[in-house]
Amino acid sequence: MAKKAVILVSGGLDSTTVVAMAKRQGYKCYTLSFDYGQRHRSELEAASRVSESMAVVEHKVVKLDLGSIGGSALTDTSIDVPEAETSGIPVTYVPARNTVFLSIALGWAEVLGANDIFLGVNAVDFSGYPDCRPEYITAFERMANLATRAAVEGQPLTVHAPLIDMSKAQIIQAGIELGVDYSKTVSCYQASLEGEACGRCESCRLRRQGFEQAGISDPTRYQNNA
């Protein structure tokens, strides 16, 4: 019997690649997205589109309101998304986001009888977010196996972050080999309602650079001024 896995999907390049990797490993994939008060809904539409095209078992969207606590350019429209390179942890960091998301994924995994959670965090071509580091993933997995009935009863959970040490170019190359259609994905922090990327934010810069370094044509739909 195929093992089940819960996979966090944002509709972006990285998490879509992770779905393809999990499917290649033979997992029955259950994808999980969050309507958490982010600036645009095009990423949620992309997550649904990707999940459908990749024939996952189930795609679930959980509604949260991280915007009510603010503190990030992705949830507070009064904070501008930076378009120039910045030092330190950028204002696009959403406080505790991965911890909240992984906790809900952990709950769903227990309900499903899944012993595996996948997510697309990366510690190479990333924005310096503290919840994208290998030591964070290790710590969350340890906590999960202390906190759940499944683990206590002999069914421990594994948190997989297969992209953690890969460059964006390597991620794209791996995805292309797995047949990923990146034209269906949205990575931009301030995409239009139609899912067109701004081409100026850090996420867009990393994505564009990744395609250039991989030597692969960039299928991203950019806004007219990008």
State the residue for tokens 């393809």.
20
| Dihedral, CA of residue 25, residue 120, residue 52 and residue 22, to nearest 10 | 0
38 phi/psi in degrees, rounded to 5: -70, 165
* pTM of the complete model: 0.93
pLDDT tens sequence across 192-209: 988 999 999 989 999 999
Q: Is 169:213 a contact under the CB 8 Å cutoff?
A: yes
Strands (E), 36-129: 58-63, 116-118
Which regions in the chain score pLDDT beneath 50?
Answer: none
Q: How far apart are CA 212 and CA 20, in angstroms?
A: 22
Q: Is 132 helix (H, G, I), strand (E, B) or coil?
A: helix
Q: Is 117:159 a contact under the CB 8 Å cutoff?
A: yes
Domains and CATH numbers, the chain: 4-182 (3.40.50.620)
Q: What pLDDT sits at residue 126? A: 60
Q: How many CA atoms lie within 13 A of 190 on its CB side?
A: 18
Q: What pLDDT sits at residue 211? A: 97
Q: What pLDDT sits at residue 46? A: 95
